[in-house]
Structures are given as C-alpha cells and as structure tokens.
Amino acid sequence: MTAVRTPSTDPLTAEAPAADLVRALRAAGQTVATAESLTAGLLAATIAGVPGASAVLRGGLVVYATDLKATLAGVSADTLDTDGPVAASTAEQLAVGARIRCGADWGVGLTGVAGPEPQDGRPVGTVFLGLAGPEGTEVIRLKLSGDRWTIRVTAVRAAITELLRGVRGG
C-alpha cells in the first residue's frame, strides 16, 4: 500500500486573501456565513482552509438548485419568479439568508453563470455578489471571463476581497 501524499497547504487559500480575512474577522470579533450557487461551497471551503477559521466561519448553504435558494436561503418566490436565480436581488437575499439562518455577523451570497452556456438570458461570466453585514447590504455585479473553474475561483477571490474590505470598514 502506497501512502497518499497530501499538500502541506490548502491550494484554495493560495487563490485569495483568505488568511487576511480570517485574521480581520477574528480581530473584529465577527463571523461569516455563505449561501452559494455558482461556487457550490467553494467560498466556504476556501475560508475553511485557513487554520483558525472555525472561530469565524459559521457555515454555508449550497443552493445550486433554484428551489433551494428559496427553501434553504430564504430568497422570496417573487424574486425568483420576477428576477430569476441570477440577479442582484437574488444575491442580496442569499446574503441576508446566510447571515440570518447561520447566525453570523456577515452573510455572503454568490449567484451567476459559470458556463459553458448562458442561463436565463445572462451571459457566461455574469456574477452577482451579495454582502450583508452589520451596517446593511450591498450587491456587486461582476463580469468575469475564462472557463468554469476560472470564473468560479475569480468569484471566490472577489467575495473574499470585498468581504475583507467590509470587515475593515473600507
């Protein structure tokens, strides 16, 4: 039997300033939770890859299917019917839902189209990032390019960077 060799560091954390985020959240005494569609838990996994993340990461919801955006994350049926699963309003409600349902100071919602085909009239690379924090909510629209993996990893990097900015009060 051959021993399986594992990397000494989490490869996901190299893609984004996740360690900086964990340090900032710890310093602020705050926590985070996620509701992820196109990233399917990649954001939560990236944060969890940082030693000490258990002090700040409350949990996450993978809501890849549209109906789960409503039942698990609390996105209203009206929003999903009117705006669709890939929309600013959906990202905002995902973020709020993650924050409330997981009892966190910050909620992050990610929804978008990683490809290879457009979805509901939205081109590949369209991503909506919702941030819900102690001072309110914000939604950022991203226009990303690349293959599925690149779009997903870039969305995670953007989410961590924007959340870090929010935690630092910037």
- Concatenated DSSP letters of 137-158: EEEEEEE--SSHHHHHHHHHHH
pLDDT at 11: 76
pLDDT score at 7: 54
What percentage of residues in the chain have a pLDDT greater than 70? 94
Mean pLDDT of 13-17: 76
The answer as to whether 145 is a domain residue is yes
Query: At 3, is the pLDDT very low, low, confident or very high (cuts 50, 70, 90)?
Result: low
Which residue range(s) make up the domain with 89?
15-20+29-169
3 within domain boundaries: no
Rounded to whole angstroms, what are the CA distances from 79 to 67, 93, 111, 129, 131? 12, 9, 13, 16, 17
Residue whose tokens read 């081109």: 123
- Summary mean pLDDT of the chain: 94
In total, how many domains does the chain have? 1
Q: What is the CATH number of the domain that holds 54?
A: 3.90.950.20
In this structure, what are the phi and psi dihedrals at residue 121, rounded to the nearest 5 degrees?
A: 80, 0
pLDDT digits (tens, 9 = 90+) for 42-99: 999 999 999 999 999 999 999 999 999 999 999 999 999 999 999 999 999 999 999 9
Residue-wise pLDDT tens digits, 122-148: 999 999 999 999 999 999 999 999 999
In a domain, 4, yes or no: no
Residue 7 resides in a domain: no
> Is 115 part of a structural domain of the chain?
yes
pTM, 2 dp: 0.93
Residue 143 within any structural domain of the chain: yes
The Cα 9–Cα 70 span in angstroms is 35
* Residue 84 within a domain: yes
- For residue 95, being part of any structural domain is answered with yes
